[in-house]
Amino acid sequence: MGAPTVLILGGTAEARALAATLDAAGVVVLSSLAGRVARPRLPVGAVRIGGFGGPDALADWLVEHGIERVVDATHPFAERISGSAVHACGVAQIPLLRLERPGWTAGPEDRWHWVDDLPQAETALRELGARRVLLTSGRQGLAAFTANADAWFLIRCVDPPAPADLPPQHEVLLDRGPYTLEGELGLIDSHAVDTIVTKDSGGPLTEAKLHAARARGLPVIVVRRPPRADVETVATVDDAAGWVLSQR
């Protein structure tokens, strides 16, 4: 088996699925993870872990390692690595594809409040008079809620957050999806949750909380996705695999 010529920037279920699909099709891929979580779910095939050292260093790395195509399948909120990929692939003249799952869409019964970032989410919580909050935005950015002494927070994340970032009243729940409607309803009911905060991550693995909120008539504060560079983008693993295979 030769050296990989396709780099998948990963850390998502779609990235793992793409690695598996391409591997099954005989394409030698290398997946890259940031190394953020203590026990990452590993994709099929070769894996490297850790940052590249910024956009220019990534460009050098791509050339040194003979990478011929890059698929940026990172999370919709992983802004910096996507920006690095655009810069690096531009400099190194390597084709880049963005694989990004569609965001979530509210239905008529949903009570969603869209905000641009976590500080705005904190403001929205105060405006709504939230007292019992299920916070599912991850451990990064929690500092936006540190000063909120009015509400109690159930903070769900994969790895423990930094203690300095925690609000005065909280409980940390270490967990990782996929989540079920039954499980989310149980969490809401047993903790008397009155408001949910989420990023617009999209996808089926973590959307049960939105169905649970609808069932209980709860407001959800949804953080919009950050703006993206204009890059060729597909929404499905099959389309991303097709792009790689068509360029062989």
Please give the residue ranges that form the binding site for ligand NAP (CB under 6 A): 9-12, 32-34, 36, 51-54, 58, 74-75, 77-81, 84, 138, 199
Least distance to ligand NAP, CB of residue 83, Å: 7
Least distance to ligand NAP, CB of residue 192, Å: 27
Which residue number, 86 or 133, has a Cβ lying nearer to ligand NAP?
A: 86
C-alpha distance from residue 132 to each of 115, 147, 154, 220 (Å): 19, 15, 8, 12
Return d(Cα 200, Cα 226) in angstroms, integer: 10
Which residue number, 98 or 214, has a Cβ lying nearer to ligand NAP?
A: 98
- List all residues 6 or more positions away from 158 whose beta carbon is below 8 Å from its beta carbon: 37, 138, 139, 174, 175, 176
234: phi then psi, degrees, rounded to nearest 5: -125, 160
Which residue number, 10 or 219, has a Cβ lying nearer to ligand NAP?
A: 10
How many DSSP H helices and E strands does the chain contain?
7, 12
- Determine whether 246 is exposed, middle or buried from the number of CB atoms within 10 Å of its CB (0-12, 13-18, 19+): exposed
Least distance to ligand NAP, CB of residue 71, Å: 11
Which residue number, 32 or 195, has a Cβ lying nearer to ligand NAP?
A: 32
Least distance to ligand NAP, CB of residue 37, Å: 7
The residue nearest ligand NAP at its CB is: 51
